Amino acid sequence: MQLEGIGALVAGGASGLGEATARELAARGARVTIADVGEERGRALAEELSAAFVKADVTDEAQVQAAVETAGDLRLAVSCAGIGWAERTVKKDGPAALQPFELLVRVNLIGTFNVLRLAAAAMASNAPDDEGERGVVVMTGSIAAYEGQIGQTAYAASKGGVVGLTLPAARDLARLGIRVCTIAPGLFDTPLLAGVPEESRRALGEQIPFPARLGRPDEYARLTVHIAENTMLNGEVLRLDGALRMPPR
């Protein structure tokens, strides 16, 4: 897929991995639409990039549909919206709360599927390119899907669902010429780690075999661009983690 002039939607595009992706796509000449619940930050970024902004909760059908329609001739959709939570399954005062688990699954998994299904439905009406391609969807998993740590039951389960969604979705949409891939980041310097002290962030980065640092959002963005441009990448989950395999804690 050639990115120049295409319509691209970045869900969760106002910060972190999504912001870096929106910046990279805009630099490549794509017509970017940013969808995010963070209206002030999202509008400021959209103005900076000459992009569009739609306030959208990824779990809300009407709001995501509005973002898809704003993107116009949508050819690339990237799902970066997500939240985190840490809690042991059984604590000193009893079992883990159910509501945070439900919320993480709703945002991280159901929200990702909501973007996938609505974006793909719009892409299905596109004219195919020379290779028969009508669109690409890139979703965001996590290495926690494979090596969830103590306290990460909710987060790991939600991201594991995204990983499990990838191949069947790619097979399901193949007849329409729509590709689906997922990036599974390791430890990245994003707002999810914003509250961690600098010394602790450095220690986390040193756990990574190479490079021994936290990942940078622009590295995620560049992989997203490569997936879009490389037509043979389909139905795949790509770990982006510097060879990190997470220990139990």
Catalytic residue numbers, as ranges: 155
SS3 131: coil
Helix (H, G, I), strand (E, B) or coil at 16: helix
The whole-angstrom distance between residue 5's C-alpha and the CA centroid of its chain comes to 22
Structure-token pair, residue 120: 């793909």
Q: Reduce the DSSP state of residue 249 to 3 states and report it.
A: coil
Neighbours of 162 (CB within 10 A): 26
Helix, strand, coil distribution of the chain in percent, nearest 5: 45, 20, 35
With a CB cutoff of 8 Å and minimum separation 6, the contacts of 112 are 58, 79, 81, 139, 140, 162, 165
Q: Is 51 exposed, middle or buried (0-12, 13-18, 19+ CB in 10 A)?
A: buried
Distance CA 3, CA 23 (A): 13
Two structure tokens written together for 187? 């430890």
